[in-house]
Structure 1
Amino acid sequence: MHEQESTRLADEIARLVRMGARFRGMLKTGDLGAEFSALMLLPPLRAMGPMRVTDLAEHKQADPSTVSRQAAQLVKAGLARREADPADGRASRLAVTESGVAACERIREARAAMLTRALADWPADQIAAFTDLFEEFNDAVEALLRTDPGAPPRETA
C-alpha cells in the first residue's frame, strides 16, 4: 500500500472511532444494566459458549482485569452467570443467560437498523463489496495484533 493511501485510510479509521460514542448513543437498546464495553462481551460468549474470563480476554485482545470487571457487570445485570469449569472445578466460566441472549439481539438489531439508515442510498453490490473488504481488513489487523511482537499492549479500559 502506498503511504498516501495508508494515511488516508488511517484518517478515515480515526474518523470512524471518533463517531463511535455518538453512534452507540443513538442505538435504541434501552438500559441493559451494564456499560457498552461490557455488553460487547456477550456476542463472543453467545457464539463460542461459556469460557473463562482469561480466554475471553484473549479473544477480545483485552486486559484480563478489564474483562473481569466487565464480566462482573454482566453477572450483576443478570446477562451472564458464572459456572464451574468442567475441566477444572477450581475455575469458573462465564456463560450468557437468556436475558443476555435477548440483550445481544437488541444490540444487533439496533446496529443493523442504524447501518441500514446510514447505507440507505448505497447499491446492494457496493454494500456487499464493502462488507467483504472490511472483513478482510479486520482479519488482517487482528492477525497482526496477535502475531507482531511490536503490537501495542491490550486495551485496559
Structure 2
Amino acid sequence: MHDHESSRLADEIARLVRMGARFRGMLKTGDLGAEFSALMLLPPLRAMGPMRVTDLAEVKGADPSTVSRQAAQLVKAGLARREADPSDGRASRLAVTEAGVAACERIRQARVDMLTQVLTDWPADRVAAFTDLFEEFNNAVEASLRSDPASPPRETA
C-alpha cells in the first residue's frame, strides 16, 4: 500500500474513533443501568462464560481496577452476578444474568438497526464488499497485535 493511502486510512480511522461517543449515542438501547464501557464487558462474559475480574480485564486489555468498577455497575444493574469460583472458593467470578443476555441482544439489535439506517442508500453489493474488507482489515490488525511482543496499552475507560 502506498504511504498516501495508508495516511488516508489512518485519518479515516481517527475520524471514526473521534465519532465514537456520538456514534454510541445513536444506539437506541434505553437505559440499561450501566455506562457503555461496563456494558461492553457483557459480550465476552457471555461468549466465554463466567470469569474472574482479573481474567476479564486481560481479555479486554483493560486495567483490573477499571474492570472491577465496571463489574460492580453490572452487578448493581442486575446484568451480572458474582459467584464462587469452583477452582478457588475464596475467589469470585462474574457471570452474565438473563437480564445481561437480554441487554447484549438489545445492544446488538441497536447496532444492526443503526447501521441499517446509516447504510440505507448503499447498494447491497457495496455493503457486502465493505463488510468483507472491514473483516479482512480487523483480522490483519488482530494478527499484528498477537505477533507484537510489546504489551498493548491498557484501556482506562
* TM above 0.5: yes
Match of 2:76 in 1: 76
1:62 and 2:79 aligned:
no
Query: Relative to 1, partners in 2 of residues 1:127 and 1:73: Cα closer, same or farther, differing over 3 Å?
Result: same
- 1:25-66 CA-to-partner distances (Å, cap 9, x unmatched) read 121111111000000111111112111112211221212221
- Kept in 2, the 8 Å contact 1:144–1:151? The answer is no
Q: CA deviation at 1:94?
A: 0.8
- Give distance in 1, aligned partners of 2:74 and 2:152: 27
More displaced stretch, 138-147 vs 35-44: 138-147
Task: Report the 3-state secondary structure (helix = DSSP H, G, I; strand = E; otherwise coil) of the residue aligned with 2:19.
Answer: helix
Match of 1:145 in 2: 145
Task: Report the 3-state secondary structure (helix = DSSP H, G, I; strand = E; otherwise coil) of the residue aligned with 1:125.
Answer: helix
- Give distance in 2, aligned partners of 1:152 and 1:47: 22
- Give distance in 2, aligned partners of 1:132 and 1:67: 32
Pairs aligned (count): 157
Match of 1:127 in 2: 127
Match of 2:112 in 1: 112
TM (norm. structure 1) is 0.91
1:154 and 2:154 aligned:
yes
- Kept in 2, the 8 Å contact 1:85–1:91? The answer is yes
More displaced stretch, 83-92 vs 70-79: 83-92
- Give distance in 1, aligned partners of 2:31 and 2:135: 30
- Kept in 2, the 8 Å contact 1:81–1:94? The answer is yes
Mark the runs of 5 or more structure 1 residues left unpaired by the alignment: none
1:35 and 2:67 aligned:
no
TM (norm. structure 2) is 0.91
Task: Report the 3-state secondary structure (helix = DSSP H, G, I; strand = E; otherwise coil) of the residue aligned with 2:29.
Answer: coil
Mark the runs of 5 or more structure 2 residues left unpaired by the alignment: none
Match of 1:16 in 2: 16
